[in-house]
Amino acid sequence: ASFTLLCFRSPLVTPLIFGLLLQAPFTHPSTITQPNFVLLLADDLGIGDVGCYGNDTIRTPNIDGLAKEGVKLTQHIAAAPLCTPSRAAFLTGRYPLRSGMDAINDYRVIFWNAGSGGLPPNETTFAKILQHQGYSTGLIGKWHQGVNCESRNDHCHHPLKHGFDYFYGMPFTLISDCQPTEAPEMDRAFRRKLWLSTQMIGLITLTAVLGRLTGLISVHWRTLTCLAGFSLLFFISWFSSYGFVRYWNCIMMRNHGITEQPMVTDRTTSLILRESISFIERNKHKPFLLFLSFLHSHTPLLTTEKFLGRSRHGLYGDNVEEMDWMVGQVLDAIDKEGLRETTLVYFASDHGGWLERQEGERQLGGWNGIYKGGKAMGGWEGGIRVPGIVRWPGVLPAGTVIDEPTSLMDIYPTVVNLAGGEVPQDRVVDGRDLLPLLRGAAAHSEHEFLFHYCGVHLHAVRWHQKDSGAVWKAHYMTPIFSPPGAGACYDRGFCQCFGEGVALHEPPLLFELSQDPSEAKPLSADTEPFFDAVIRKIGRAVEEHRRTLTPVPQQLSVSNVVWKPWLQPCCGTFPFCWCDKEGDN
């Protein structure tokens, strides 16, 4: 019967087979055992800063080229709107609060190299799994997941403890304090309060001494000595950390050793690029994972003279264009070594652009296109919707655009499965394998719901209603912009996650993102007939999601983020920490 059916349909089958033969061949992933992975993650880059996502004032030909040769994701979502939690989620495939890497307070990122918080040793990164699969694994650039736990050299949070064979870069993050010519950035408002308190205590002490000398105040010298001692101790207690931020946080490491303390920013870009290309060249004969975690485009926007003044978007644009050039250099190295067809390249940003980052008239933060909000805002699209591009010639169809909800956490199972590893079964993994969607074998993302946190506070939830194509998003809290209507929290520099800095919504604000991606027109029961049903559906999903959460130690608690001198990485004998081994070489 099957033979008869085949013969009967042969007039239809023949042209079909002929048409398929004319199509460009796509290699099935199983025929390429253990592809290489080059994961490129920008820092603070807005989705509106890239040409293929609509920017026409910043030139990004190499990133745009990746999109033309691969797959562009238009609804690619970060699991958090700030560096530390977003990167923890990226590395583990899990919402950051599952590992204790999201904040219960206003300290929402790792603040010091000498803090004791960081990515817990019991978390399994994709690098650790690939390491067990025989991959050479390297991290070049930014880490920002902690260093030590109990002693200066235990390196419990270090990249080498989390599956990377090789590390070169910053264990912390780039900040303006690293550039001697820039105004301090780290904890700026708190530092002002400390200075003011020091001056007030000093003034009180000086007044008391003068009063005693002139006989206007009757006070014992012992009391004055204690007051002066307290003034000095108070000053030392905070200036020993905040007065030397450049030495404590702005360091470069190679594996466990410090190469620059403080870092020499003029050569950082060239060294990171050199290390990235060298890693590819050293490992070209075996499968490798290179995670190039850019310091671009975080302030202070380190940009070499070659790129200064080239863009039409000021220093920020110059910095993005330099990063694009670096992407091109890495891609050239892949081509030079004949690895183009066997290497999956991924490009994304850790979260949205920083709208509030300004110095006078200069805008030093990114642009998030049509999307509301930005960095530090856990619910609004501008803080979490980021560029997402995947290229794998011969396997992924070139020039494809996918408008399905995807997450940075999806890279975890995608990379692990392609490398022949197994996703851990002893914990909840929130990422989903992207390959069927990227290859066109699946029409829809596996994500039905995505939960958008600001710290440990659930700000919004996205529901992808696959049968209708609708993407509903309910906001339970939103930041209060300052000044009102400004679109960001310019008065504070960052938007808050809880307390007086947020507005609670009952019922939640509801948007349909496929019709209103800018989240400009909230729906109501009067304007949307399915309003109540959608809110109930999302509410049930939140309850189910919360049942999967278990208590874990809070890595970003105050006790974990404060500076601890006994944990300070030091090139020398503490507190005399200084070296320049790159310069010596």
What amino acid is encoded at 31 in this protein? T
Q: Is 73 helix (H, G, I), strand (E, B) or coil?
A: strand
Task: Please list the alpha-helical segments (H only) found in 46-180.
Answer: 61-69, 83-92, 126-132
Q: What is the token pair recorded at 322?
A: 């330099």
C-alpha 134/C-alpha 224 separation (Å) is: 67
Q: What is the token pair recorded at 12?
A: 């239809």
Contacts of 367 (CB under 8 A, 6+ apart): 46, 48, 49, 55, 353
Q: Are 331 and 344 in contact (CB under 8 A)?
A: no
C-alpha 139/C-alpha 290 separation (Å) is: 6
C-alpha 372/C-alpha 377 separation (Å) is: 10
Q: Sign of the CA dihedral 328, 334, 338, 339?
A: negative
C-alpha 383/C-alpha 354 separation (Å) is: 8
Q: What is the token pair recorded at 220?
A: 């014992």
Known catalytic residues are 83, 144
Q: Is 179 helix (H, G, I), strand (E, B) or coil?
A: coil
Q: Is 376 helix (H, G, I), strand (E, B) or coil?
A: coil
What amino acid is encoded at 75 in this protein? Q
Residue 427: alpha-carbon gap to chain centroid? 22
Burial of 409 (0-12, 13-18, 19+ CB in 10 A): buried
Q: What is the token pair recorded at 160?
A: 């080498």
C-alpha 195/C-alpha 214 separation (Å) is: 28
- Single out the residue of 315, 325, 218 nearest to residue 276, CA to CA: 325
- Single out the residue of 347, 435, 340 nearest to residue 397, CA to CA: 435
**Residue 536, phi then psi, degrees to nearest 5:** -65, -45
Per-position DSSP letters for 431-482, written without gaps between them: ----HHHHHTS-SS-S-SEEEEEETTEEEEEEEEETTTTEEEEEEEEEE--B
C-alpha 564/C-alpha 583 separation (Å) is: 29
Q: What is the token pair recorded at 582?
A: 């790159």
Q: Are 261 and 200 in contact (CB under 8 A)?
A: no
- Single out the residue of 306, 309, 301 nearest to residue 329, CA to CA: 306
Contacts of 391 (CB under 8 A, 6+ apart): 66, 69, 70, 71, 344, 345, 346
